[in-house]
């Protein structure tokens, strides 16, 4: 990624980076950086970084389109409500996932990537 960012910058194009690590080499090579600051990753799938990157993308789109800004806020509220209800109402689901030996992921487009993140 660093070589790509440097190569693009050398061609006098502007690189916008989304980083989870402050003052990274990629950020230093970028014209502009969107820091997601979601914290250190503990596992390989980098779920926090993926989620933070999606949120950063939504924020960037919202900066360009006021209509999308309202839709993003709706998604933010829905996410927070899901998080609260999930922990309060889904003890059977949590128990089943803890007891399972295998998890299968299926989906299409970005949904497949999300399914893989959840399964890992």
User: Global pTM?
Assistant: 0.60
Comparing CA positions, the residue from 35, 33, 26 lying closest to residue 7 is 26
**Dihedral sign (CA 70, 71, 74, 79):** negative
pLDDT tens digits, 18-70: 888 888 888 888 888 888 888 887 766 677 787 888 888 888 878 878 888 88
**Separation of alpha carbons 85 and 92, rounded Å:** 13
Burial class (CB in 10 A: 0-12, 13-18, 19+), 81: exposed
pLDDT tens digits, 72-113: 888 888 777 776 665 555 566 666 667 777 666 656 666 666
What are the structural domain ranges in the chain? 1-35
Show Cβ contacts of residue 59 under 8 Å, excluding neighbours closer than 6 positions: 34, 72
- What's the pLDDT at 18? 86
Residue 111 to residues 26, 79, 83, 117: CA-CA distances in angstroms? Answer: 27, 16, 19, 10
**Separation of alpha carbons 101 and 16, rounded Å:** 41
């Amino acid at each position: 990624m660093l070589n790509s960012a440097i190569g693009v910058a050398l061609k006098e194009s502007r690189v916008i980076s989304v980083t989870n690590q402050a003052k990274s080499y990629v950020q230093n090579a970028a014209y502009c950086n969107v820091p997601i600051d979601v914290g250190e990753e503990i596992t390989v799938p980098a779920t926090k970084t993926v989620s933070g990157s999606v949120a950063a993308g939504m924020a960037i789109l919202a900066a360009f389109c006021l209509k999308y800004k309202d839709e993003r806020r709706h998604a933010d509220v829905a996410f927070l409500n899901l998080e609260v209800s999930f922990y309060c109402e889904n003890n059977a689901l949590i128990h089943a996932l803890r007891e399972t030996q295998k998890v299968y992921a299926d989906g299409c487009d970005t949904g497949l990537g999300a399914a893989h993140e959840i399964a890992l």
